[in-house]
Amino acid sequence: MGLVVQKYGGSSVADAASVKRVAARIVETKRAGHDVVVIVSAMGDTTDDLIALAEQVSPNPAARELDMLLTAGERISMAVLAMAIHDLGIEARSYTGSQAGLITDSAHGRARIIDVTPGRIQAAIADGAVPIVAGFQGVAQDTKDITTLGRGGSDTTAVALAAALGADVCEIYTDVDGIFTADPRIAPKARQVPYITYEEMLELAANGAKVLHLRCVEYARRFDLPIHVRSSFSSKTGTFVVSDISRAQGDAVEQPIIAGVAHDMGDAKITVVGVPDKPGMAAGIFRAVADAEVNLDMIVQNVSAAATGRTDVTFTCPQADGQKALAALEKVKHEIEFEDLRYDDDIAKVSLVGAGMRSHPGVSATFFRALSDAGVNVEMISTSEIRISVVTRTESAATAVQAVHTAFGLDADGEAVIYGGTGR
């Protein structure tokens, strides 16, 4: 007997029948003698639908109210899931994030967890009940307003609660069998891996693999809490995210060189055209963008044209921050004396991730050969110790992911199963 924390994503509770199926699964775990704490996301695409509603009402919804609206999605699923569990003869109690003790800062839409005080959850467990906690939400310590943790944040709620409650493992139930070497929705030959390290999963998540929320992986690494990503539609063992694969597996297997390929269609590319090539100009550009709280990713500065003494500076940022970045730059146009701004959100970032890159030469050569053989045009490049990323046209993303996947020998024999979800 132990404490099991289970998180069910939106596609696992998309409709009434799915809610009942998940309820049966929870009851099975409970009847097997475990204490169970459940975290649940909003049903299906509810969060997207609520955002669309807000945008119909207001072009730029107030952040506090948008958070209040979005947390309603998880309230619905936690209540109906608790009802379904009751009907199977087990007591279940639903809690909002605030009631469950998820204390955050007050950054609406991207709040960070600063404390977890799960007294009511512990009391429910002691009573023999199954607590059902609404994912992705909390309450701000200073303003006492309701906050959300950002899209996909229920994973982070689950890991934070699992750590605070001292669970042995946090199970993340989703619509695929585990973590694959690429998103099976665009690379059908993606292969499921039994284990992946926190380090590699962090790079994959940071570069678009939304199967796990980035901060959930950061949190799990900090507490050395294993995450088990698996399907709520099958009983197969999924993928374990751990600190050390050979230790987890209990033998001295060598870690694969490449962990996987990630893609991200959510970025935009901004080019500041005709920047005077003299000291301080780049600093001025990036100060303006930072003051607008825009997170930059890749940065490239062209070689300046000798004739004009001017150069172009290009960077990428989340599409959601694009207009903010443009407005901030427009304000410093006269100070920096650049000529023009260009905005392009028809881009995709494709990244190859693997800790083995550190010690294996030739990875870049294979990567760029695969892209060129597939006719994919590379617009920007960036690297880290364990990652190579390129920016390409959106329409080339799937071709690029598949070509790189094949070139590194990652293709599986069969096709990956996708049980549900719309991939939104």
Q: Would you tell me which residues interact with ligand ASP (CB under 6 A)? A: 9-10, 41-42, 47, 73, 135-136, 151-154
Q: Which two tokens stand for residue 385?
A: 């110790």
- Cα 309 to Cα 324: distance, rounded to the nearest angstrom: 28
| Out of 35, 74, 183, 321, the residue judged to bind ligand ADP by CB under 6 A | 183
Q: How far is the CB of 41 from ligand ASP (least distance, A)?
A: 3
Q: How far is the CB of 14 from ligand ASP (least distance, A)?
A: 12
* Residue closest to Mg ion (Cβ): 152
User: Binds 153, which of Mg ion, ligand ASP, ligand ADP, none (CB < 5 to 8 A, cut-off by type)?
Assistant: ligand ASP
Q: Which of residues 62-81 bind ligand ADP (CB under 6 A)?
A: none
User: Binds 101, which of ligand ADP, ligand ASP, Mg ion, none (CB < 5 to 8 A, cut-off by type)?
Assistant: none
CA 36 to chain centre: 25
Residues 135-154, mask of contacts with Mg ion (x by CB under 5 A): -----------------x--
Q: How far is the CB of 170 from ligand ADP (least distance, A)?
A: 13
User: Binds 47, which of ligand ASP, Mg ion, ligand ADP, none (CB < 5 to 8 A, cut-off by type)?
Assistant: ligand ASP
* C-beta closer to ligand ASP: residue 21 or 333: 21
Q: How far is the CB of 212 from Mg ion (least distance, A)?
A: 7
| Out of 226, 256, 260, 354, the residue judged to bind ligand ADP by CB under 6 A | 260
- Measuring CA to CA, how many Å separate 159 from each of 112, 151, 227, 247? 13, 15, 8, 21
* C-beta closer to ligand ASP: residue 72 or 332: 72
Residues 19-58, mask of contacts with Mg ion (x by CB under 5 A): ----------------------------------------
CB atoms under 10 Å from CB of 262, counted, come to: 25
| Out of 4, 6, 9, 389, the residue judged to bind ligand ADP by CB under 6 A | 9
- Cα 240 to Cα 228: distance, rounded to the nearest angstrom: 5
| Out of 111, 139, 161, 209, the residue judged to bind ligand ADP by CB under 6 A | 209
Q: How far is the CB of 172 from ligand ADP (least distance, A)?
A: 7
Q: How far is the CB of 266 from ligand ADP (least distance, A)?
A: 12
Q: Which residues bind ligand ADP (CB under 6 A)?
A: 9-12, 41, 152, 174-176, 179-180, 182-183, 185, 204, 209-211, 260, 418, 421, 423
